Amino acid sequence: EDPELAMAAAVAIELLHCASLVHDDLPCFDNSPMRRGQPSVHAKFGERLAVLAGDGIIVLAFQVLAKAQVRYPQRIASMIALIAQATGAPDGIVAGQAWECEPKANLRDYQRAKTGALFVAATSAGALSAGADPKQWQGLGDCLGEAYQVADDIRDVMGQADLLGKPVGQDAQHDRPNAIANLGLSGAIKHFESLIQAASDSIPEGPNAQSMRELVMQQSERLVPREAFMAFRASSSQSVSH
């Protein structure tokens, strides 16, 4: 019903994601020199400008929402509240990042806050912009967000820097909560597959439900390519035997 509001929400969520990556790469967190295959912001421009850049992008996200020329202005306040909740504490990406500062963390709570919160915001914002009940779409965002983080853990241990666009082995290096440490590689793969199935099953019935389920399955293969996993497992077996 309101494509301008949907687009503004999508842009805001992507900006917030980018801001979280700028901050995540800082020396006080991951100290990562690379992001998306290029020098991270702090590596190229310095730590102080990286902090300011991340802060500025967060503000820009909400400016995009505030300035949107929407058809139903009364939905803007609910949209801002929805996206702000996914960004801050106690359930947003700020809370997820804070879990990394703790000696122990519940893996599910950590992953659903750090990554899942923005996925829930995306699926819920889409519903809200269409005048639908956003709560019906929270399950899809929850499952996709956790699946994405599990996939990130899997690629990190498999050493797929080309897919990650950043250095690998970060979870072990920083002793962060991750699916591999909890479940092992095969267990993490099974958990990822169960999350993808749960995501597919959570999609409400409607004219395009089947197309959306097919899209979820396509994303599954993109996130954890079956061929790459089989090749990694084969090479690991050979290393052990040698």
Helix axes 3-24, 47-67, angle to 10 degrees: 170
- pTM to 2 decimal places: 0.83
Q: How many C-beta atoms surround the C-beta of residue 131 within 10 A?
A: 10
pLDDT digits (tens, 9 = 90+) for 52-83: 999 999 999 999 999 999 999 999 999 999 99
Please state, as a whole number, how many other Cβ atoms lie within 10 Å of the Cβ of residue 36.
11
- The token duo for 222 is 């993109």
**pLDDT tens-digit profile of 184-204?**
888 998 999 999 999 999 999
**Whole-number pLDDT of residue 100:** 80
